[in-house]
Chain A
Amino acid sequence: DTGVSQDPRHKITKRGQNVTFRCDPISEHNRLYWYRQTLGQGPEFLTYFQNEAQLEKSRLLSDRFSAERPKGSFSTLEIQRTEQGDSAMYLCASSSILEGGTGLAGVLEQFFGPGTRLTVL
């Protein structure tokens, strides 16, 4: 299977602990996105990378959150000093965007992983 994978699938932690999630995108995709989804809501954008560069961060991404994509392949999302409000499903998605394109040429489908469900006790 060459889809987007995420690890772990489930994480239970105590308030105040640090957690780290990993995402492996589809291998030829140069864009990688992180989203957060809470119960009964649609996914909300957190941040995205093009290759190894983090190009945008949402206001939702507080200073306790950090994401990396060191070699332009897999990515990690770390949450420090977790709070109960961090409990959610964290989704990763990847896509391929045409470099140097203009307008709609670069808009291609995002493929989502199964998500990591975080529960903070």
Chain B
Amino acid sequence: GNSVTQMEGPVTLSEEAFLTINCTYTATGYPSLFWYVQYPGEGLQLLLKATKADDKGSNKGFEATYRKETTSFHLEKGSVQVSDSAVYFCALSVYQAGTALIFGKGTTLSVSS
């Protein structure tokens, strides 16, 4: 079946530290990969996406590269800010399976100044 595994949190960092949140997936088809973010008190927002192998999604200083050989889509940011504190969800969808998103459990990031 299709599934997403992401590193458990919480992740606690100081401002300007480097961030990595690991995400690996299993998929029966050829998935598109996403990172969604949920800020406190707000709804889910798409952070970035990649639709084919070796694509790099990027937004707001965050990046993730679609690695088919390692079935991974790790989220990185070179210098986090307090405003990045949120819950981050890795997700996939498989067109042939109806494009419903399959989410990981989420990783809570807390950044202190």
Contacts and interface: CB of A to CB of B under 8 A. Distances in A.
Contacts of B89: 42-43
Contacts of B42: 114
Interface stretch (A17-25, A79-87, A105-113): A105-113
Interface in B66-113: 89, 91, 93, 95, 98-106
A104 B36 CA distance: 19
Interface in A29-64: 31, 33, 35, 40-45, 48, 55-56, 58
Contacts, number: 63
* Interface size range of chain B in the complex: 20 to 34
A103 B100 contact: no
Contacts of B43: 91, 112-115
Contacts of B95: 103-104, 106-107
A48 B89 CA distance: 20
B105 A104 contact: no
Interface in B14-44: 30, 32, 36, 42-44
Nearest to B103: A42
Given A42-B4, A112-B44, 13 more contacts: A40-B106, A41-B106, A43-B89, A48-B99, A55-B98, A91-B43, A95-B99, A103-B30, A104-B32, A104-B51, A107-B95, A112-B36, A112-B43
13 contacts: A35-B101, A40-B106, A45-B102, A56-B98, A91-B43, A103-B30, A104-B51, A104-B52, A106-B95, A111-B46, A112-B43, A112-B44, A115-B43
